A = this chain, B = another copy of it.
Amino acid sequence: MIAEFDKLLKDKFNIEFNDESLLDEAFTQASYVNEHPKENLKFYERIEFLGDAVYELVVSEYIFKRYPKLPQGRLTRLRAAMVNEHSFSSFARECHFDKYIRLGKGEEKAHARERDSLLCDIFESFIGAVYLDQGMEPVIRFCHQVIFPKLDEGWFDEFFDHKTELQELAQQNGPVDIEYHLLDENGPDNDRKFKVSVSIDGEECGIGTGHSKKNAEQGAAKVALKKYL
């Protein structure tokens, strides 16, 4: 792998490979291998297979421990949000992985480098390569640096229906009464703002705002959910 990439991994993530060939394999697509038949290269797919399972465990354990009251259904949905093509390809771009993929000429011309599905694969194969080279610890460190802070930044919120989640969670020990109240509504017609509160059994436990009542309700439910986490 080229020195520039080694430097990026070291400077940004404090990762130095013992076996550079694993990193090469993780960033090489089959099209490149086919164009260089004499070099006896490997492409990323097998390492990606392993990386997929490694990442899933790291994410699972993190959210399991971070949210000790979260029931299985919500854990599963949160994991699905953190383990999907859209997330992976964003992470890969953020880490500049797209620059260092080795592609065949045809794939390069077809802009494969920008393709979400390829970036998703490469993100997983990177995880797999780190794991094979150095075990679980640096993978966990990488996730703490790149992935887990995104939970607090609301990155995975779009995947959630907070109102449904709140209802499920609040009612897991029997029926409760969840009510949303419109507290305020103001601004011009093209920029209207709504403010909504949510109460559980009469006790207010969250306030949200938004450009629609629905958005404001989702915001209120999100605040209330934090009390249950």
Interface residues of A (CB under 8 A from B): 45-46, 48-50, 52-54, 56-57, 59-61, 64, 70-72, 75-76, 79, 136
- A61's contact among B53, B71, B75, B76, by CB below 8 Å, is which? B53
CB–CB A45/B61 < 8 A: no
Contact A46 B60 (CB under 8 A): no
Closest residue on chain B to residue A83 by CB atoms? B53
Residues of B within 8 A of A71 (CB): 45-46
CA distance A76 to B52 in the complex (A): 11
A61: B residues at CB distance < 8 A: 50, 53
Q: Are B48 and A72 touching (Cβ within 8 A)?
A: yes
Complex CA distance for A93 and B74, rounded to whole angstroms: 29
10 A-B pairs with CB atoms under 8 Å apart are A45-B72, A46-B64, A46-B72, A46-B75, A48-B72, A52-B60, A53-B56, A53-B60, A57-B57, A136-B136
| Bound form: Cα–Cα A79–B53 in Å | 11
Residues on the B chain within 8 Å of A76, using CB: 49
**What residues on B are CB-neighbors of A45 within 8 Å?**
71-72
A7 to chain B, nearest CB (A): 29
Give chain B residues whose Cβ lies under 8 Å from the Cβ of A79. 49
Given contacts A53-B59, A57-B57, 14 further A-B contacts (CB under 8 A): A46-B70, A46-B72, A48-B72, A49-B60, A49-B79, A50-B61, A52-B60, A53-B53, A53-B56, A53-B57, A54-B57, A54-B60, A56-B57, A136-B136
